[in-house]
């Protein structure tokens, strides 16, 4: 099995290898394909608000030394060619074999493919690839795709998917697993353009019990033919799932 691991809320004074050992002690370094997190600022970020870098230059050097790639979460819904041009220096800085870009906007995926071919381009979970037709369409454009957390429970759906070696499943899950609308994603995309604007959440619309992080049976998923997994870190104070 190979894992891509979240550096969400990693303190800058904690080196990345120490962070991984402390928060993911059961995962061997040799099993870590990449770590995803914010580096320098760009309006292309999505998924969660940009509050500052999570991976420092020192972290990146440590990761490269350990054979771990950088995964850039460029999953904003909205991207213009002008914004892409502004982000090119950042993309050039991390353009090397083993690094990846997580993308929601198809135009951005095509531009990165054209100009920065060394990146592995992954379709973000935000694309909500919840049918076989959507998965197949995404696999025609992206190198790999991430499926929504809730599909881990649909054995028949997973068993029928093609190219399982190009599909990433979640190893654990937070609030998105049971969220009925995922309205946060679009509002966060807008927020990351300007640093302002309301970040919306469906939780206030219908109160649900918070249950924390949920871990999946990876052996069962591996037996179905999957070996790529995305591993999240719970929020420091817990209660991230419901």
Question: What pLDDT is attached to residue 47?
Answer: 75
171 in a structural domain:
yes
User: What CATH number corresponds to the domain at position 7?
Assistant: 3.20.20
Q: What are phi and psi of 194, to 5 degrees?
A: -125, -15
75 in a structural domain:
yes
> Residue 153's closest CA among 216, 97, 67, 237?
216
Q: Residue 214 gets which letter from DSSP?
A: E
196 in a structural domain:
yes
Structure tokens at 95: 């353009």
Question: What pLDDT is attached to residue 242?
Answer: 41
138 in a structural domain:
yes
57 in a structural domain:
yes
User: Number of folded domains in the chain?
Assistant: 1
Strands 69-74 and 100-103 turn out to be: parallel
236 in a structural domain:
no
Burial tier of 159 (Cβ tally within 10 Å: 0-12, 13-18, 19+)? exposed
Question: What pLDDT is attached to residue 27?
Answer: 95
182 in a structural domain:
yes
d(CA 114, CA 108): 10
Per cent of the chain over pLDDT 70 is 81
Grouping H, G, I as helix, E, B as strand and the rest as coil, residue 121 is strand
Could you report the per-residue pLDDT of 3-45, keeping only the tens digit for each? 999 998 898 899 999 999 999 999 999 999 999 999 998 999 8
Question: What pLDDT is attached to residue 163?
Answer: 96
Block residue for tokens 């649909």: 154
Q: Mean pLDDT per segment of 10 residues, for the chain of length 242 residues? A: 92 94 94 95 83 93 98 92 96 98 97 98 94 97 95 95 96 72 63 66 64 84 97 63 43
159 in a structural domain:
yes
> Is residue 166 within 8 Å of 145, Cβ to Cβ?
yes
d(CA 149, CA 128): 10
Domain that holds residue 148: 2-231
d(CA 16, CA 195): 26
């Amino acid at each position: 099995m190979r894992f891509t691991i979240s550096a969400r809320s990693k303190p800058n004074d904690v080196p990345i290898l120490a962070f991984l050992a402390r928060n993911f002690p059961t995962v061997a370094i040799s099993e870590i394909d990449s770590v995803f997190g914010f580096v320098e600022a760009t309006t292309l970020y999505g998924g969660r608000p940009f509050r500052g870098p999570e991976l420092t230059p020192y972290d990146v050097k440590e990761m490269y030394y350990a054979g771990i790639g950088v995964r850039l979460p460029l999953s904003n819904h909205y991207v213009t060619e002008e914004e892409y041009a502004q982000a090119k220096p950042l993309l050039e800085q991390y353009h090397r074999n083993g690094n990846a870009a997580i993308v929601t906007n198809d135009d951005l995926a095509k531009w990165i493919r054209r100009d920065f071919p060394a990146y592995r381009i992954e379709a973000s979970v935000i694309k909500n690839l919840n049918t076989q037709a959507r998965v197949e369409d995404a696999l025609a454009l992206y190198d790999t795709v991430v499926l929504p957390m809730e599909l881990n429970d649909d054995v028949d759906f997973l068993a029928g998917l093609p190219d399982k070696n190009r599909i990433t499943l979640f190893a654990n899950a937070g609030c998105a697993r049971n969220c009925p609308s995922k309205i946060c994603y679009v509002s966060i995309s807008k927020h990351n353009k300007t640093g302002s604007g309301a970040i919306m959440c469906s939780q206030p619309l219908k109160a649900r019990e918070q249950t924390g992080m949920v871990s999946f049976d990876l052996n069962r998923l591996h037996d179905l033919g999957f070996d790529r997994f995305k591993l999240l870190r719970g929020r420091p104070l817990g209660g991230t799932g419901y």
